[in-house]
Structure 1
């Protein structure tokens, strides 16, 4: 495995979208993203100047993605919207590597705070990566 990390390019949007579709079909999400919708989502992030799109590559194949957005509130924060690694590449340090690559890139932009919302089963992963649980509570409603 020849692993490297970098920025996602527009011509890689379809391959990145396939990772999203595959990841969200699995529990606990059990969502059915269509390829076209996932591709639109990736392209929208790539075209948004506040978004950052990172990828993990095994040779030329995209095996993981991390998308997020710079939020300008009381300080410049980065909100991770999505982190996903292909199932056959999980538990090999790729998610942690993506986070580290993202953190380094953001730090060079003067960003010093990252936030995210995730499922309870991911808590251990983020704790291992030195993320702490906040007091925030996530609410949602279908309308």
Structure 2
């Protein structure tokens, strides 16, 4: 069955919550997402003004997605790659890389100057991003604090 890549609608994004649940349960993440939280996350992204959401579809069913949000910085307009995930049984077939490539083309056509993301700093996921041409920042680090 051929895979179709295109923009994802908010309704299709809502149907994609299972992708987060299944993909993030696998190594290296080992995260236990509820379907409700995954649906809320995708709704947040899909309804954010300026969101660029792309998906891979097989037989009209989403099997992977990438969501990027506008982020203007000192250098100008950029995109923050907020989420990318592919169903486990479709991983390692180039779908995620195709989503990234298509996102980069759309970003360039829309005048964005850069795409940035936050992810693991080493291991398979880091290798995936560097293999797709992304470079680790030498200046920035992620900080976290839980309120309370």
Count of matched residue pairs = 143
Q: Does 1:106 align with 2:104?
A: no
1:54 is aligned to 54
Unaligned runs of 5+ in 1: none
2:130 is aligned to 127
> Normalization by structure 1: what TM-score?
0.91
| Cα drift, residue 57 of structure 1 | 1.2
| Cα drift, residue 35 of structure 1 | 1.3
Q: Distance in 1 between matches of 2:30 and 2:143?
A: 19
Q: Distance in 2 between matches of 1:123 and 1:43?
A: 27
Unaligned runs of 5+ in 2: none
2:145 is aligned to 141
Q: How does 1:1-143 map to 2 (within 5 A)?
A: 1-74=1-74, 75-119=76-120, 120-121=122-123, 122-135=125-138, 136-143=140-147
Q: Distance in 2 between matches of 1:101 and 1:23?
A: 21
| Cα drift, residue 25 of structure 1 | 2.0
Q: CA RMSD in A?
A: 1.5
